[in-house]
Structure 1
């Protein structure tokens, strides 16, 4: 298990700092720092840095293999995130669905797409032993 003194870090490209800040703040992520070439967020307790790099934007994003996100261990938190995304009209790449239905690894999931075509997955496993 991860100790609280460790934070996962992910760096991704973005095409516009203003659009990026708007999206991630609507998602509930706190803006930690802003520079001329990047913004850093508290992304559900981890660090996501969006570097201004409009030439590196994926114009045809696909869910697999390139995405990132959060796996919730509490159903209420998953539902709250989904409700927030819907209420704030965040763009869905994949509407909420159930994967591997009837199997031990069954989980609820949805994907959002940020303004720079980065794909974010949010999921919840009823059986928390299947998280890893």
Structure 2
């Protein structure tokens, strides 16, 4: 992982997770992080990509992560904790409706982080995260 704590984050649909692993992992050389049968994390040149399965090849509406349905596709940033907390306060103060209120995910597991989901006025899903240990962003 690069030394950059603030990383771009993109979750996108794929038709086959193994195919995505071969392309992004083997062909492009992106180290693979945490995964499941429905998703695969990649260290995309220091940024955080997550490929979510779309069995029928159509764009997903939701994927599964840590037992929760998440909108796919979505994008955002992995921020340091102080910037994440300031953004959460700013969004709350502005009266933004959250798809997922700021909360802890992967509690007690490697990769534990806080997250929040919201939609912009055009309906684009956004996620902002802050890992307890940024070095665990891409752990398998």
For the pair 1:66 / 2:73, whether they are aligned, the reply is yes
For the pair 1:131 / 2:137, whether they are aligned, the reply is yes
CA distance in 1, matches of 2:115, 2:90: 15
State TM-score, norm by structure 1. Answer: 0.51
For the pair 1:118 / 2:124, whether they are aligned, the reply is yes
Aligned with residue 105 of structure 2, among 96, 99, 112: 99
- Could you say if the C-alpha distance between residues 2 and 76 of structure 1 is closer, same or farther in structure 2, counting changes exceeding 3 Å? closer
Verify the 8 A CA contact 1:91 1:114 in the aligned structure 2. no
Verify the 8 A CA contact 2:72 2:125 in the aligned structure 1. no
Report the alpha carbon displacement of residue 61 of structure 1 after superposing the two structures with TM: 4.9
State TM-score, norm by structure 2. Answer: 0.48
Verify the 8 A CA contact 1:61 1:119 in the aligned structure 2. no
Aligned with residue 89 of structure 2, among 83, 87, 96: 83
After the TM superposition, which segments of 4 or more aligned residues of structure 1 sit over 4 Å from their partners? none
Q: 5+ residue gaps in structure 2?
A: 11-58, 63-69
CA distance in 1, matches of 2:3, 2:107: 29
Q: 5+ residue gaps in structure 1?
A: 11-57
Question: Which has the larger strand fraction?
Answer: 2
- Could you say if the C-alpha distance between residues 103 and 2 of structure 1 is closer, same or farther in structure 2, counting changes exceeding 3 Å? closer
Aligned length: 78
Query: What is the SS of the residue equivalent to 1:79?
Result: helix
Report the alpha carbon displacement of residue 125 of structure 1 after superposing the two structures with TM: 0.2
